Structure 1
Amino acid sequence: MPRFGASPTPVATGSLLVLAGLVAGLWWREHQNRPGPLDPPLVVYAAPTSRLPLEAVAADYERETGRRIELRFGASEDVLTKVRFPVPGAPADLFIPADDSYVRQAREFGLVAESVPVARVRGVLLLARGNPKGIAAWADLLRPGVTVAVPNPGAAVGKLARDHLTRTGRWAALEPRAVDTGTVTEAANATKAGSADAAVVWDAVANGPAYRGQTVLRLHELDGVTGRVELAVLTQSRDPAAALRFVQYVSATSGGLARFREYGFEVEERAGGIAAALREGVTP
């Protein structure tokens, strides 16, 4: 029988060391994944199309994890430029334009490490409050005195709408009535303020709470104007592991996708599966 106070055996000492190593490893892994007060925010460049769900998702994520999310909005072409030419010493972590064509461009420039689909958007016509011009069809847009707000080509919907309407032979007739309004939000706001009779915008924007009570027309003339919202982790990110965790959160069915669905987006059903694959360390 061992005496009280006897020195531990070599086997016991080894077991204690192994246990201490496991505990230390678990603590270190948890500590590494937990944001601290000095951790910089994750910087996300985004198109205003996704402003409402992204603001809600960012607030949820900060509350649940403590990691700050800094959202910087601009037209898709503008935020792509900022991603390509970041401010020295201040790189971005994530990029979510209004259409995945901009993600493809960023990938061609070697700027994208990983990306996942989030939602789809479609071009629609948002009418001025009360629809004073009685617009009910595409032909009504071509009547004298009608003005149509169209985001400039720097915005995804503005570029895609111009390209589609040019291919289908409709842009030449609409162009004299089109008012260049910058971003998709500015185009929608023009109808709310009454400075435009209609606006070509994404359905998710038109169905947002800011334009409740205004008529939305889904016209076959705009059927080819569609976008795919995709979230990309940038190669310039200073904390790619944290950026990827945010992507997993945004693309989780019960996480960020629920917020996008709440704000009228047609979410990508396979995004949840991609999020799960990323959690397992598998490239989708």
Structure 2
Amino acid sequence: MTKKLLALLSALALVLAGCGGTSDDSQADGGAITIFAAASLQGVFDDLAEQFHTANTQYSVAPIVYDGSQALATQIVEGADVDVVAFANESSLTPVTEKGITDAGTIFATNTLQIAVAPGNPKNITTLADLAKPGVSTVLCAPAVPCGKASQTLLGNAKVTVTPVSEETNVTSVVTRVKQGEADAGLVYKTDVAAAGDALTGITPDGADAVVNRYPIAVTNNAPSAAAAQAFVDFVLSETGRKVLEQYGFNVP
């Protein structure tokens, strides 16, 4: 009798353990969502992640990894575990798609460049040509970075040659150097100027509307938290997500 009772209790414990493992499907497919996102997305994606979790408490989002899209692509190709990637242009995603890690993704936002200067615009910079004047120090993103590629296209279209005092690996670093007075001007996204508030003034140069960065977002094919990752992407693409993006100055397709 005792043996039968023990066997029954053991079987019941197994059943309960199985139920306990599946009763909360919040992260049943791998844990908190890991997101790699372009540096220019930091403010809006922190906001989106918070709103996503509030609306979907069964899912959690790990602290988002922000950097230049090229640097993030390298980490992913080298084996970093990630669920969602969101880059600042389509070409930055190419090394990832070529490795079969993601598809081409979905374009969820667009952005254009502005000249960022100190409040009051002390060097009276109004055009791209002003960036090449003697006595004006300009910082740019490195050409391999999406903001750098866009900057080179914008300057090339205007037939302006600028010798930067530095070339940064992400747009956040350009913003920081101008804010700290280490450069008179920098080419950054209009959303970065907006996020800086009173710390920067933005000038929209001629031709900026012809150089548009298109931001793709994708779930990796072997995402550790695939269901949660897709739920986050769907949230970004939803009407709520679009409104948040617009609040931060992004255009949405």
| TM-score interval (norm. to shorter) | 0.7 to 0.9
Q: Say which is worse superposed, 194-203 or 149-158, in terms of deviation.
A: 149-158
Deviation at 1:166, TM superposition (A): 4.0
Match of residue 85 from structure 1 = 78
2:110·2:250 contact (CA, 8 Å) conserved in 1?
A: yes
Q: Is this contact kept in 2: 1:121–1:228, CA < 8 A?
A: yes
Take 1:178 and 1:221, find their aligned partners in 2: how far apart are those partners? 23
Instruction: Report the more deviating stretch, 69-78 or 222-231.
Output: 222-231
Structure 1, 158-167 or 191-200: larger mean CA deviation: 158-167
What are structure 1's unaligned runs of at least 5 residues? 1-27, 269-284
Equivalent residue number for residue 6 of structure 2: none
CA distance 1:165–1:143, change in 2 (3 Å): closer
d(CA) in 2 for partners of 1:230, 1:112 = 11
Summarize the alignment of residues 8-27 of structure 1 with structure 2, pairs less than 5 Å apart.
none
Q: Structure 1 vs Structure 2: percent identity of aligned residues?
A: 23
**Cα distance in 2, alignment partners of residues 233 and 164 from structure 1:** 31
1:114–1:237 CA distance, 2 compared to 1 (3 A): farther
Pair member with larger Rg: 1
CA shift for structure 1 position 180: 1.6
Equivalent position of 2:200 in the other structure: 214
**Whole-angstrom distance in 2 between the partners of 1:75 and 1:154:** 9
Other structure's SS at 1:81 match? helix
Instruction: Note the C-alpha offset of 1:223.
Output: 4.3
TM-aligned CA deviation for residue 37 of structure 1:
8.9
2:252 corresponds to 1:267? yes
Q: 1:228 aligns with which of 214, 237, 243?
A: 214
1:43 corresponds to: 34
1:174 aligns with one of 152, 162, 165: 162
Report Cα offsets for 1:50-71 as digits up to 9, x if no partner: 1111000111112222211121
Q: Secondary structure at the match of 1:153?
A: coil
The aligned residue for residue 134 of structure 2 is 144
Aligned to 1:189: 176
CA contact (8 A) 1:126 1:217 kept: yes
Structure 2 unmatched runs, 5+: 1-18
CA offset digits 1:127-154 (Å, max 9, x no partner): 1222111112223222211011101234
Distance 1:262 1:221, change over 3 A: closer
Q: Which amino acid aligns with 2:142?
A: N
Residues 151-209 of structure 1 deviation map (CA, whole Å, 9 limit, x = unaligned):
12342111232245346542xx312x44223311111122211111111011111111x
Q: How far apart are 1:101 and its partner, in Å?
A: 1.8
Contact 2:245-2:252 at 8 Å conserved across structures:
yes
Of 241, 247, 253, which aligns to 2:239? 253
After TM superposition, the structure 1 stretch with the greater mean CA deviation from structure 2, 105-114 or 137-146, is 105-114
Cα RMSD after superposing both structures: 2.4
1:67-146 to 2 correspondence within 5 Å? 67-70=59-62, 71-87=64-80, 91-113=81-103, 115-146=105-136
Separation in 2 of the partners of 1:265 and 1:167?
A: 23
In the comparison of the two structures, how many residue pairs are matched?
Answer: 231
Amino acid at match of 1:245: A
User: 2:37 matched to 1:57?
Assistant: no
Q: Report SS of the residue matched to 1:231.
A: strand
Distance 2:89 2:27 in 1: 34
Measure, in 1, the Cα distance between the counterparts of 2:87 and 2:246.
17
Q: TM-score, normalised by structure 1?
A: 0.74
d(CA) in 2 for partners of 1:41, 1:34:
12
Partner SS for 2:242: helix
TM-score, normalised by the number of residues in structure 2: 0.82
